[in-house]
Structures are given as C-alpha cells and as structure tokens.
Amino acid sequence: MKDLKNKVALITGGSSGIGYGVALSLLNEGINVAITSRDEARAKAAAAELQKMTTTSAKAIGVMADVRKYESQQNAVKQVLAEFGQLDIVIANAGLGHFGSIEELTPEQWQETIDTNLSGVFFSIKSSVEALKKSKGYFISISSLAGTNFFAGGSAYNASKFGVTGFTQSIMLDLREHNIKVSTIMPGSVATHFNGHEPDNSDAWKIQSEDIGELVVSILKMNERTLPSKIEVRPTMPASK
C-alpha cells in the first residue's frame, strides 16, 4: 500500500496493549481505525483517547465485538463498512492466556483460550474476506513466539498460537490469488496489560506496543511485490538477572 492515507483498518482487541499501540500508529499515518472490545464502553472510551492523541485528521471509532462469536465479528465488519464504506486492513489481535500445568488447566480455560486466540482469528478473516477482496487489502494476525517455542505450563496458549501461525500461513497461500496480502507477527515479551499485568519501569527492556505499531506500518508500506509473511520480533536484550 503505497499511500496509507484514508485507508480503513479494523483491529480486534484494540482498546489496550498491542492493539491500542497499532491503532495509534495507523491513525498517525492517516488511516481510519475501528477498534473492538467485548465491552462497548471500553471500546468507545479508547477510541476517544486515540482520537485526541493522533496527529492527523483520521477517525477512530470503538465497536463492541466478541471474536469468539462469528456473528459478532460479522456485525463489526458491517459497522465498519457502514461508517467508512470500505475495509482495507484487518489486524487480528485479540487474545488471552491461561497458564499452568496440564493437571491444573481446566476444560473451561482451554476452551476460552482456543476460542479467543485461534477461532477468533478464523472468524476475523472469514467475516472480512469479501471486503478485503474488493480493496485488495491486508490481513495481519498477531501470533507469538509461543507459536513456535513451547514451554512448561503453556499447553493451551502454545496450542492456540501454534495454530494461529499455521492458520495464517495457510490462508496466505489461499488469498494471494485475490491480491490479499497476509502476514503474521510473532512478538516475544511485550510490555502490555496482558493477564492483568500493569506495565511499569521494570518492563522497559521489553518490546513496547508502539514498536509493534511501527512494524505494522513498515509492513503495510512494503513494496507490493514483496510479502513479509512471518515475522519474529523479540527484545534486543533479555531482562537483567
């Protein structure tokens, strides 16, 4: 996408963390942005904050959507199209994590992780693929280094993110014949509010949400002949012992 101004992006789970950082970066490029949350008030409040922070005239809106439900994600896409008339970029970012030994992990925690992190990505592209065909758009999933590196206590999270990585790479092959570009970003440690964490100075060594936003902008600006289909990104240095 040589000119990003006036493009339209939908970001799932965009009211905080990585999604919020990506939203601000896109707004500052002149891209209109819709962010989703399961909490409508939270989505609208975050959009209002983003609107105040952007350096351009691009518009931010908040939309209530639950990525675990196909109909909900379809409605989000319909709202974006009604508001802006087009959809050029979809960032499947919404996610959560339940961690613990397989002996401790409950069926409910397993199901919520898979439904949100993996099925949510499927529903996000399934509901937006026709709009992206029209715009010859871009779909980006936010996976994780946990989608290639397994660890103890991470069975549900690893399974979901391994799935996201594989799923996104497969649909990249499906959709390029329609001139839809597909990438997955696999961050390591990011300073976000994930699982109730409150970022502070001790997180300074981690990737920051705005860093992922900068990366997304770089991907979108890549020459159309080139597709960075799978990108691993990690902190330069690990935390000090």
Catalytic positions are: 157
Q: What is the CA radius of gyration of the chain?
A: 17
The three-point CA angle 52-55-59 to 5° equals 60
Instruction: Look at residues 143, 149, 95, 99 and name the one whose alpha carbon lies nearest to residue 117.
Output: 95
Q: What are phi and psi of 99, to 5 degrees?
A: -125, 145
User: Cα–Cα distance between 63 and 151 in angstroms, integer?
Assistant: 35
- The single-letter DSSP state of residue 238 is P
Most distant CA atoms of the chain, gap in Å: 52
